[in-house]
Chains A and B, each alone.
Chain A
């Protein structure tokens, strides 16, 4: 047998094959599909030899005795844990949109949860926490308002109460202390349980970010924040750091400008929607973001 010296060339102007019809609930033959096989070169196995040559293009729940098997199989499955930290700009300029951002924060968890459960991923632990930020240069210690992690759904009322209690005020002139908030989020006490984890930071702001400046920070905050943007990048990229190398995601609803554009261009695992705190986000893009979190675990 020799190498084929002249294989048929790749199609250059053929129409693109369309997507298959939706899978049906009935098992359907997969090999060969009608109309696409030169039967003389690819004789199908005769009936006796290929007794099981079938494909089930069906929902698992529709074709499989899952309930009968799950008791036996479940112990070998994986467990999931998801932590989400919301960094919310609560300076005065956010006043017109703060209610929408609060609503988005409360909705975000529900949508991630739905995305996960739709694919049968049983999340063993789902927690959220909030870091509300202003501008340390203008507001001093009042520039930060942190919650602990709330375990959901048990502590949903506490989570809602904290979010609804946020008031947009202060902040001085733009920009704001968004990078400090991201640094504190990275420094969160992330979960260590679960075979697979997803650690998500979501930022809503309508302003660029101040450069990191430890001199304007209260001592207890300064000790938790990197000294400059390079150190902050290292903290995000650090494979041995607080966040897992593969499990972290940063979602930015922030305008193009100092701080955010650099992060968007350089950091891994970032999804950036350049906007005033998510304004103008289409449903399609929102769904894409939720899928980038829930569908990749």
Chain B
């Protein structure tokens, strides 16, 4: 009996700012023995330059992802056929040439004023790409060739019953593993653009149905705490959904809630229907929850609780300090109140009174009394006249600006 081909699929493109999303709509194509999924992320950080176009003002990032998507889709439709093995390296070179040519041509058409900026961070019409072309290796068989083509830090994943596998390697200047890349936020070292050289990477993986292939821009996975959380998010939403559409909607809602970027995803399931995929991945979701994301989330929750308690305790400490100080202060400052009458102790003899007569008088003849119980100021402490005590509710620290070099400057102006 023939193994089913592509069975379920969805794609979405979420723009953080309406009408200005810099990811293009994903590529999602399938046939009985073929599949094509891909995403393109216009790089806003490198391609923020704005151009005037017939559709209005658009960033280079916005334009680039759409141009690249159209070119790549058209080229792959020509290159990928059911009866011929795709030559992946040739395809990678073909895509590189085709996209570069299209981006350069578009840049010329835009007739942009040359930028006055110099930077290796800024590029003309930059975009990433992550693409997987699937070909069944034998008619009706369960084995598929996965041709992975990419440039930049968008990713392609394969989900097998035992877990999620990343099949692209991030093109980053400071490369690390997926968790390190999440934290380091490194600069992309290779991306499609009109004014810099780039290459299209290629990798071939052999896949046995059933499996899922997902291509995603970093807005989907880059704002979750770990890659484990991304896998758990995708699969747990699958298990909780009624159908593919509900799965897609749920994922969109979850990603939109945490992402700080546009997010595009293209998903294709091969070799099983929706219910069968739910059954296939149920043990993995349980394993992820118990062994990976669950313990990490518990720790995160515990830290959040402790931090909340610490904040509450600090507020309470400040409040109590202020209250208790206010109770204590009147006695403490008893002799600092200039208007406060000195209580006469009638039991004192005149001789005793003489001993408590002023022991220090200022030039005006005002007296400051010091009882025998008063403690003199220690070294380094400053005695201030009538200076009020520091308000304990005020922040402690040098919030006042430091100013060095206030000396008068008479140098000749340069």
How far does the Cβ of A116 sit from chain B's closest Cβ, in whole Å?
8
Residues of chain B within 8 A (CB-CB) of A273 are 116-118
Q: With A and B bound together, what is the CA distance between A197 and B183 in angstroms?
A: 9
Let me know if B371 is at the binding interface, CB within 8 A: no
The residue on B at minimum CB distance from A133 is: B405
How far does the Cβ of B369 sit from chain A's closest Cβ, in whole Å?
41
Q: With A and B bound together, what is the CA distance between A3 and B66 in angstroms?
A: 30
Q: Determine if A57 and B21 form an interchain contact, defined as CB atoms under 8 angstroms apart.
A: yes
How far does the Cβ of A71 sit from chain B's closest Cβ, in whole Å?
9
Q: Determine if A54 and B117 form an interchain contact, defined as CB atoms under 8 angstroms apart.
A: no
**Contact among B74, B97, B243 with A36 in the assembled complex (CB-CB below 8 Å):** B74
Give the A interface residue count (CB, 8 A).
130
Let me know if A189 is at the binding interface, CB within 8 A: no
How far does the Cβ of B160 sit from chain A's closest Cβ, in whole Å?
21
Let me know if A215 is at the binding interface, CB within 8 A: no
Q: Determine if B225 and A76 form an interchain contact, defined as CB atoms under 8 angstroms apart.
A: yes
Q: Determine if A196 and B185 form an interchain contact, defined as CB atoms under 8 angstroms apart.
A: yes
Q: Determine if B256 and A66 form an interchain contact, defined as CB atoms under 8 angstroms apart.
A: yes
Against B, the Cβ 8 Å flags (1 = close, 0 = not) of A69-108 are 1101111111010000000000111010000000000000
Q: Determine if A52 and B25 form an interchain contact, defined as CB atoms under 8 angstroms apart.
A: no
Let me know if A61 is at the binding interface, CB within 8 A: yes
Let me know if B342 is at the binding interface, CB within 8 A: no
**Contact among B9, B21, B79, B87 with A53 in the assembled complex (CB-CB below 8 Å):** B9
Let me know if B187 is at the binding interface, CB within 8 A: yes
The residue on B at minimum CB distance from A198 is: B185
Q: Determine if A290 and B413 form an interchain contact, defined as CB atoms under 8 angstroms apart.
A: no
**Contact among A38, A50, A63 with B244 in the assembled complex (CB-CB below 8 Å):** A50
Q: Determine if A56 and B13 form an interchain contact, defined as CB atoms under 8 angstroms apart.
A: yes
Q: Determine if B407 and A141 form an interchain contact, defined as CB atoms under 8 angstroms apart.
A: yes
**Contact among A8, A173, A270, A282 with B119 in the assembled complex (CB-CB below 8 Å):** A270
Give the B interface residue count (CB, 8 A).
134
Let me know if A219 is at the binding interface, CB within 8 A: no
Q: Determine if A147 and B401 form an interchain contact, defined as CB atoms under 8 angstroms apart.
A: yes
Q: Determine if B414 and A52 form an interchain contact, defined as CB atoms under 8 angstroms apart.
A: no
Let me know if B411 is at the binding interface, CB within 8 A: yes
Q: Determine if A145 and B48 form an interchain contact, defined as CB atoms under 8 angstroms apart.
A: no
Q: Determine if B252 and A292 form an interchain contact, defined as CB atoms under 8 angstroms apart.
A: no
Let me know if B367 is at the binding interface, CB within 8 A: no
Let me know if B122 is at the binding interface, CB within 8 A: yes
Q: With A and B bound together, what is the CA distance between A54 and B10 in angstroms?
A: 5
Knowing A31-B29, A246-B187 touch, does A296 contact B297 (C-beta < 8 A)? no
**Contact among B18, B69, B245, B406 with A25 in the assembled complex (CB-CB below 8 Å):** B18
5 cross-chain CB contacts under 8 A: A4-B81, A17-B66, A33-B25, A49-B6, A295-B44
Residues of chain A within 8 A (CB-CB) of B349 are none
Knowing A50-B244, A145-B403 touch, does A7 contact B79 (C-beta < 8 A)? yes
Q: Determine if B122 and A7 form an interchain contact, defined as CB atoms under 8 angstroms apart.
A: no
Let me know if A127 is at the binding interface, CB within 8 A: no
Residues of chain B within 8 A (CB-CB) of A92 are 411-414
Against B, the Cβ 8 Å flags (1 = close, 0 = not) of A30-70 are 11110011100111110001111111111111111110111
Q: Determine if B399 and A155 form an interchain contact, defined as CB atoms under 8 angstroms apart.
A: yes
Residues of chain B within 8 A (CB-CB) of A295 are 44-45, 48
Knowing A3-B84, A11-B98, A291-B48 touch, does A30 contact B28 (C-beta < 8 A)? yes
Q: Determine if A23 and B79 form an interchain contact, defined as CB atoms under 8 angstroms apart.
A: no
How far does the Cβ of A151 sit from chain B's closest Cβ, in whole Å?
9
Let me know if B366 is at the binding interface, CB within 8 A: no
Q: With A and B bound together, what is the CA distance between A76 and B105 in angstroms?
A: 42
Which B residues from 365 to 414 make CB contacts under 8 A with A?
A: 398-414
**Contact among B116, B257, B411 with A275 in the assembled complex (CB-CB below 8 Å):** B116
Using CB atoms and an 8 Å cutoff, list the residues of chain A in contact with chain B. 1-5, 7-8, 10-12, 16-17, 19-23, 25, 28, 30-33, 36-38, 41-45, 49-66, 68-70, 72-78, 80, 91-93, 95, 116, 118-121, 134-135, 138-148, 155, 158, 161-162, 165, 169-176, 195-197, 207, 239, 244-247, 249, 264, 268-275, 280-282, 284-285, 287-297
How far does the Cβ of A164 sit from chain B's closest Cβ, in whole Å?
11
Residues of chain A within 8 A (CB-CB) of B115 are 284-285, 288
Q: Determine if A78 and B223 form an interchain contact, defined as CB atoms under 8 angstroms apart.
A: yes
Let me know if B75 is at the binding interface, CB within 8 A: yes
Q: With A and B bound together, what is the CA distance between A141 and B90 in angstroms?
A: 64
Against A, the Cβ 8 Å flags (1 = close, 0 = not) of B61-95 are 01100110111011101110111111100110010
Which B residues from 1 to 52 make CB contacts under 8 A with A?
A: 6-19, 21, 24-32, 34, 36, 43-50
Q: Determine if A171 and B401 form an interchain contact, defined as CB atoms under 8 angstroms apart.
A: no
Residues of chain A within 8 A (CB-CB) of B313 are none
Q: With A and B bound together, what is the CA distance between A296 and B184 in angstroms?
A: 12
How far does the Cβ of A249 sit from chain B's closest Cβ, in whole Å?
8
Against A, the Cβ 8 Å flags (1 = close, 0 = not) of B283-314 are 00000000000000100110010000000000
Q: With A and B bound together, what is the CA distance between A20 and B18 in angstroms?
A: 15
Q: Determine if B14 and A292 form an interchain contact, defined as CB atoms under 8 angstroms apart.
A: no
**Contact among B6, B32, B90, B223 with A7 in the assembled complex (CB-CB below 8 Å):** B90
Knowing A31-B9, A36-B73, A51-B243 touch, does A119 contact B17 (C-beta < 8 A)? yes
Q: Determine if B413 and A20 form an interchain contact, defined as CB atoms under 8 angstroms apart.
A: no
Let me know if B203 is at the binding interface, CB within 8 A: no
Q: Determine if B411 and A271 form an interchain contact, defined as CB atoms under 8 angstroms apart.
A: no
Q: Determine if A169 and B83 form an interchain contact, defined as CB atoms under 8 angstroms apart.
A: no
Residues of chain A within 8 A (CB-CB) of B26 are 30, 55
Against A, the Cβ 8 Å flags (1 = close, 0 = not) of B243-279 are 1111111001111111111010010000001100000
What would 8 more interface pairs be, CB under 8 Å, given A76-B258, A145-B406, A158-B400?
A7-B87, A56-B248, A57-B13, A60-B252, A73-B257, A148-B398, A172-B411, A274-B118
Q: Determine if B409 and A170 form an interchain contact, defined as CB atoms under 8 angstroms apart.
A: yes
Q: Determine if B30 and A45 form an interchain contact, defined as CB atoms under 8 angstroms apart.
A: yes
Q: Determine if B409 and A139 form an interchain contact, defined as CB atoms under 8 angstroms apart.
A: yes
Q: Determine if B259 and A120 form an interchain contact, defined as CB atoms under 8 angstroms apart.
A: yes
Residues of chain B within 8 A (CB-CB) of A19 are 53, 55, 58, 62-63, 66-67
